[in-house]
Each structure stands twice: as C-alpha cells, then as structure tokens.
Chains A and B, each alone.
Chain A
Amino acid sequence: MPDRPRHYTRPLIGSTLVLRVIASALTLTSFGGMTIYASENLHAANAPLQPAAVATATPTPTTAPTTVTVGRTTRRSVTSTSTAPITRTKQS
C-alpha cells in the first residue's frame, strides 16, 4: 500500500522580518502599556513588598509645608511641626 502523501501546510508567516516586527510590537506594546499604567497608578496601597524606609526629620517649631508619603502616595499639606519627628513610610 503506497504511503499517503504528507499534507504540507504553509506557515502563516514566511517573512522573518514580519516575525521580528510582531515580536517587537508585542514587547513594546507591553512596555508602553505598562509605562502608561504605572504613571497613572503610581501608588499601590496593597503592594506586596514594603521596604522599611524610615526617614527622620529634626523637629522644628515652624509652619512649613511637609510631604508625607504613604504607599508611594504623596500628600502635600501645610502643617505645624513642633513635637515628634516625621516618620515616612512607603510601599512599593
């Protein structure tokens, strides 16, 4: 009994240039998309990693703008600091 002729299916993409463009597009799309998403969502309250970043400022009895960062969230406000040092913690 003669062998069946093998069915040869032409691949969808023959050009290596097109393949490289697709690979680049997938990578750069994820890079661009993630850049946009990260810049719009800079602060993650429930980030899995939380370095113990503690910065201590010397208390000065002045009315000055302070920056308190919580979970990579920057809140700027004007407060009077005259007692305890400001403790800053951030989340990744």
Chain B
Amino acid sequence: MTLSTDLIWIIARSTGTASLVALTLSVLTGIALRTGTLAWLSHNRGVRVVHGFLTVLWIPLGFAHVIALLFDRYAQIGLLDLVVPFGVSYGRLAIGLGTISMQLILVVLISTWLRSSLTNSQWQTFHRLSYVAFFAAFAHGVMSGTDLANPVVAALAWITAAAVALVALRRVARVRIPV
C-alpha cells in the first residue's frame, strides 16, 4: 500500500465522519427552527443562519468523502455506483444506503435552490426527505464504518442519532417551547 493509498483511505474516513457530524448539526438546527428546541442557545434568526451556513461545511466534506472512495482502488466504487445504489459487489446495503442518502440530499439541495419556483408545501415535502437522508447516512455510517469499534467514535455516532431522534420526536409531537 502506498502513501497516497493510505492518505485517500484516511481522507475517506475523516470526511465521512465529519460530514455526518455537520449534517447532524444541520438537521438539528433545521428541526429547531420549527420547535424552538435551541431557543436557550440562540434566537431563531441565529439558528436559521447556522442552518444555512452548515451546508458550506457538510457539502464539501460529503463530496470529498465520495471522491476519496472513488479514488480508493480497494473500495472498488465506481461512478455508476453513485447513480445506481446496491450495485457494489460487497456490503451492498451499507454502501447502497450511502448512495441513497447522497441522492436524497441532492434532491433536498436542488429543491432549496429552486425554492422560489416551488410552493411552500412542495418545498416542505422535498425538505422532509432530509430526515430519510439523515437516517440513511447514519445507517450507512454504522453499517460500513470501520471505526465504530472505537468507543469515542461509537459514542459520537449514537449521541448524534439520539439528539436528532429526540428533536424529531419533539417536532412530530409539535411541542413548542415558549420563547
């Protein structure tokens, strides 16, 4: 294994983890806009700004994760696998969920860019796909993540999932914190 191969593998792992962290923060702040869950931390305008800003963080990280895996000869992931999920010869579900997540996120992003030409209900319908995308990304990380044996990484993964689950339940229950 050459240095560059190792480097690609390190980048794939670190960008995958960091993009999941940033995506979690993005989902949390997005839900908090409706529920007021983060009212103790900041006003809604601040939460909205951070929600938008987080795309600047997780999009490049997620992109780098995909590109690194494309260049990792060992991972054997091709361009077609970015379009057609569950086509990889190994770990079909785990890697396919990553593909599904990426595609759903793209739909959410495109619908956000086209928001002015969509009705509010149409945009909300598209935007709610981010829940599914997050779940798919998380499952992808848990099922394929090499580093979950490490207690710190495992704790990070489950804390992010628990945080999103809690605020999502709050959102579903439509409990609003008085501000």
What residues make up the interface of B, taking CB atoms closer than 8 Å to A? 1, 6, 9-11, 13-15, 17-18, 21-22, 25, 39-43, 45-47, 49-50, 53-54, 57-58, 61, 74-76, 89-91, 94-95, 143-150, 152-153, 156, 178-179
Contact of A14 among B18, B43, B57, B58 (CB under 8 A): B43
What residues make up the interface of A, taking CB atoms closer than 8 Å to B? 6, 8-9, 11-16, 19-20, 23-24, 26-28, 30-32, 34-35, 37-39, 41-42, 44, 46-53, 67, 69, 72, 74, 90, 92
Query: A19–B14 contact, CB under 8 A?
Result: no
Query: A31–B18 contact, CB under 8 A?
Result: yes
Q: Which residues of the other chain, A, contact B149 by a CB distance below 8 angstroms? A: 44, 46
Q: Which residues of the other chain, B, contact A30 by a CB distance below 8 angstroms? A: 17-18, 21, 156
Q: Is the interface of B mostly helix, strand, loop or mixed?
A: helix
Minimal Cβ-Cβ distance residue in B for A28: B18
Q: Which residues of the other chain, B, contact A69 by a CB distance below 8 angstroms? A: 1
A16 to B47, alpha carbons, bound, how many Å? 8
Query: A51–B75 contact, CB under 8 A?
Result: yes
A50 to B136, alpha carbons, bound, how many Å? 20
Q: List 23 A-B contacts (CB under 8 A).
A: A9-B39, A11-B39, A13-B41, A13-B42, A14-B42, A16-B45, A19-B49, A24-B57, A30-B18, A30-B156, A31-B18, A34-B14, A37-B153, A44-B149, A48-B94, A48-B145, A49-B91, A49-B146, A50-B90, A67-B1, A69-B1, A72-B74, A92-B146
Query: B74–A90 contact, CB under 8 A?
Result: yes
